[in-house]
Amino acid sequence: MGRLRTQLGFLLAALVAATAAIAVAAPFSDAMRGNTPIVDEPTPPPLQNQENNDVRRVRSHPMQPPTIPHKIDGYQLDRTVNRCLFCHARTRIEETKAIPLSVTHYMDRDGSVRGDVSPRRYFCTQCHVPQDAVKPLVDNRFEDFDTASQRAAPAKPAKR
Amino acid sequence: MLRLLRRYWVVVRRPSHYLSLGFLTIGGFVAGIIFWGGFNTALELTNTEAFCISCHEMRDNVYVELQSTIHFTNRSGVRAKCPDCHVPHDWTDKVARKMQASKEVWGKIFGSINTREKFEAARLELAQHEWERLKANNSLECRNCHGYDYMDFTRQSPRAAAQHSTMLASGERTCIDCHKGIAHRLPALPVTKSEKQVSMASP
């Protein structure tokens, strides 16, 4: 019992030493922070202008909330006012030609459709966000269903 | 009463006995400058942002809200001050607005919005007054800076250009119809109306 404990102790000490050695040897680097040490404040990159071309982006998968193809700077979205609904509300789209909310936004958690936007779907920017033309900080290897299924079974083209 | 009036009329009509013509004309001229200058200086003093936010009602509510908007902070450093949007720049209109503002003095004295709760309760009504005013004068205060004739539609987003070149160009809509709540928070509207909101299609 005593010997086992001693061995374990040695092993642990070795592990700690090895980790420390690695930490000292390799300079700190992180995909999001760059080479700025953890104790320092990195200089943030300049703010980009939000995409504002009103062209709807393709969704990567059917359930993806569509991105917002226009600026929403200073749009008020709080308990009292929802600026998005000024144009995207069911009653407003004829005049504004905006994309209406899908029916799921009117459903409560029991699936029954209500007359007004469901409170759980009220805060648009929880799911829908505008886009900036920036280089992604981390590599994205996401493949949509069509690509993935084609790679899995190349002989049989995926049906759409 | 009529006798009193007549007596004053006679005094005013009678040529001066003791004062020289020079004193009366030059003195009148100087007095005119002093009174008129004083009046205008006082008027302009009430037309500064410092005057507006000398009351906590303005400083703690609407002025704070303005600070995060494009009309307060932006890349080129041009900014709108309270009177730029809330007081007409033309003299007659300005004096008319200043006379209306006596209601605001009344409100200040009797503290009609002297707490956050009172202000929030009155926000819809206050906002509606400003919307109606801008609607009535065809968004004059917006147009003091934003001239339709000088808008470059090729530099606007497609959506903005589409709206401006049709609705605004035809005069069917004016700035305030769509651009409500750009400098201050919007008022809370009755929940059932949340979809219609203050709507761009207000009458």
DSSP chain A: -HHHHHHHHHHHHHHHHHHHHHHHHSPP-BTTTBT--TTSPPPPPPPPPBP-S-PPPPPSSTTPPPPB-S--TT--BSSS-BTTHHHHSTTTHHHH-PPPPPGGGGB-TTSPBPSS--GGG--GGGT--B-B----SS------HHHHHHHH-SSSPPP-
**Set of chain B residues whose Cβ sits within 8 Å of the Cβ of A98:** none
- Note whether B131 and B157 are same-domain residues: no
CA distances from B1 to B86, B140, B181 (A): 43, 46, 55
CB contact under 8 A, A85 and B188: no
- Note whether B105 and B158 are same-domain residues: no
- Note whether B55 and B71 are same-domain residues: yes
- Note whether B73 and B91 are same-domain residues: yes
- Note whether B31 and B88 are same-domain residues: yes
Burial B178-200 (b: 16+ CB within 10 A, else e): bebbbbbbbbebeeeebbbbbbb
Low-confidence ranges of chain A (pLDDT < 70): 1-6, 8-26, 154-160
Ranges of each domain in chain A: 1-44
Q: Are B55 and B108 in contact (CB under 8 A)?
A: yes
Q: Touching check for A119 and chain B: CB below 8 Å? A: no
Domain of B120, CATH number, reads 1.10.3820
Choose between B124 and A28: higher pLDDT. B124
Q: Touching check for A83 and chain B: CB below 8 Å? A: yes
Is residue B46 assigned to a domain? yes
Is residue B90 assigned to a domain? yes
- Note whether B33 and B68 are same-domain residues: yes
- Note whether B96 and B161 are same-domain residues: no
CB contact under 8 A, A81 and B200: no
Q: What is the pLDDT, as a whole number, of residue B82?
A: 93
How many beta-carbon contacts under 8 Å exist across A and B? 62
User: Any idea which residue has 């992604």 for tokens?
Assistant: A136
* pTM, two decimal places: 0.74
Q: Residue B81 pLDDT more than 90? A: yes
Alpha carbon distance B159, A134 (integer Å): 23
In chain B the first and final C-alpha atoms are separated, in Å, by 51
Is residue B122 assigned to a domain? yes
Q: Residue B194 pLDDT more than 50? A: no
- Domain extent at residue B57: 24-145
- Note whether B69 and B157 are same-domain residues: no
Q: What is the pLDDT, as a whole number, of residue A115?
A: 87
Instruction: Give the mean model confidence (pLDDT) for residues B167-185.
Output: 91
Q: How confident is residue B203, by pLDDT bands cut at 50, 70 and 90?
A: very low
| A20's tokens | 């420390």
- Note whether B86 and B138 are same-domain residues: yes
Q: What is the ipTM for the molecules in this complex?
A: 0.71
Q: How near does any CA of chain A get to the CA of B85, in Å?
A: 18
Nearest to A81 among B159, B188, B192 (CB): B188
Is residue B160 assigned to a domain? yes
The per-residue pLDDT of chain B, averaged, comes to 88
Positive or negative: CA dihedral B104, B105, B110, B114: positive
Choose between A159 and B54: higher pLDDT. B54
Is residue B41 assigned to a domain? yes
Q: How confident is residue B164, by pLDDT bands cut at 50, 70 and 90?
A: very high
Alpha carbon distance B148, A49 (integer Å): 24
The per-residue pLDDT of chain A, averaged, comes to 82
Alpha carbon distance B173, B203 (integer Å): 10
Is residue B34 assigned to a domain? yes
Nearest to B186 among A73, A76, A91 (CB): A76
CB contact under 8 A, B194 and A53: no
Instruction: Give the mean model confidence (pLDDT) for residues B123-129.
Output: 92
pLDDT digit string, tens, across residues B61-75? 999 999 999 999 998
User: Any idea which residue has 């009463």 for tokens?
Assistant: B1
CA distances from B137 to A40, B111, B175 (A): 54, 29, 11
Q: Residue B139 pLDDT more than 90? A: yes
Is residue B14 assigned to a domain? no
| Three-state secondary structure of B81-96 | CHHHHHCCCCHHHHHH
- Note whether B156 and B63 are same-domain residues: no
Choose between B170 and A16: higher pLDDT. B170
Mutate to test the interface with B, among A48, A72, A76 (most CBs of B within 10 A): A76
- Note whether B156 and B133 are same-domain residues: no
- Note whether B53 and B137 are same-domain residues: yes
Count of structural domains within chain B? 2
CB contact under 8 A, B197 and A82: yes
Is residue B61 assigned to a domain? yes
Residues 6+ apart with CB under 8 A from B124: B187, B188, B189
Q: Residue B125 pLDDT more than 60? A: yes
Q: What is the pLDDT, as a whole number, of residue A47?
A: 81
